[in-house]
Amino acid sequence: MEGRDLRRVTVDEYVALDRASDERWEYVNGEAFAMAGGTVENVLVGKNVALALTGALRGKPCVAFGEGLKVSTPRTRAYHYPDVVVVCGPVRRDERDDHAVLNPTLIVEVLSPSTADYDRGGKLVHYRSLESFTDYLLVSIDDRSVEHHHRIEPGRSLLRTDVREGEIELEALDVTLRVDELWIDLDRVAEG
């Protein structure tokens, strides 16, 4: 997170800062930091993931949200903005910030060079603290692959599989996600 605007604030100050700002701010252990904007490729792939999940979840008790929905992890005192979030059942909102949800089932992060290590490490620690959380997809544009972390059962570590083609089974959502759908139009907008 080097090079980002960083501020020491209380949770209430963070919520006020995030709401008043044109930028999105994340919060971890008393520090708020401004989020960098995504590349054209990252935004496109995030949209593709959200659209694929929206179609697959039609008629099911889960809803896919694209970029912009905040996730609160009260046990670790953090707020993050994943690229895609799926919530199953009624949405539970954070009492200190009603723009943040407490019960994601699936979280998706589209990796970028500046955030990949944090997405794989620190963010995963925060997300794992949520009882509702079962699946984490880390989408890599560089090698067109997806790391799928799946919680086997509550309190147990996640099982990781790497997928480059075919399908990803999301048992908790009762859906299958086709990996090739994530790259739709990517060649059309790729740099170079």
Q: What pLDDT, in 10s, does the model give residues 142-187?
A: 999 999 999 877 666 667 888 999 999 999 999 999 999 999 999 9
Residue 9 lies in a domain: no
Q: What is the pLDDT of residues 71-86, one digit of tens each?
A: 999 999 999 999 999 9
Angle at 112 between CA 110 and CA 115, to 5 degrees: 100
Closest by alpha carbon to 78, among 124, 138, 135, 109?
A: 124
Instruction: Provide the whole-model pTM.
Output: 0.92
Q: How many domains does the chain have?
A: 1
Query: Do residues 125 and 119 lie in contact, with contact meaning Cβ atoms separated by under 8 Å?
Result: no
Q: What is the pLDDT of residues 42-62, one digit of tens each?
A: 999 999 999 999 999 999 999
CA distance 98 to 15: 10
CA distance 73 to 127: 7
Residue 101 lies in a domain: yes
Residue 27 lies in a domain: no
Residue 50 lies in a domain: yes
Residue 19 lies in a domain: no
Q: Mean pLDDT over residues 88-113, rounded?
A: 96
Instruction: Give residue 60's Cα distance to chain centre.
Output: 20
Residue 117's domain comprises 38-189
The secondary structure of residue 38, as a DSSP letter, is P
- pLDDT beyond 60 at 1: no
Residue 69 lies in a domain: yes
Instruction: Give residue 155's Cα distance to chain centre.
Output: 21
* pLDDT value for 190: 78
Residue 6 lies in a domain: no
Q: Give the rounded percent of residues in the chain with a pLDDT score beyond 90.
A: 78
Residue 103 lies in a domain: yes
Please tell me the total number of residues recorded for the chain in this structure: 192
CA distance 127 to 105: 10
| CATH code, 92 | 3.90.1570.10
Closest by alpha carbon to 62, among 30, 22, 107?
A: 107
CA distance 187 to 192: 10
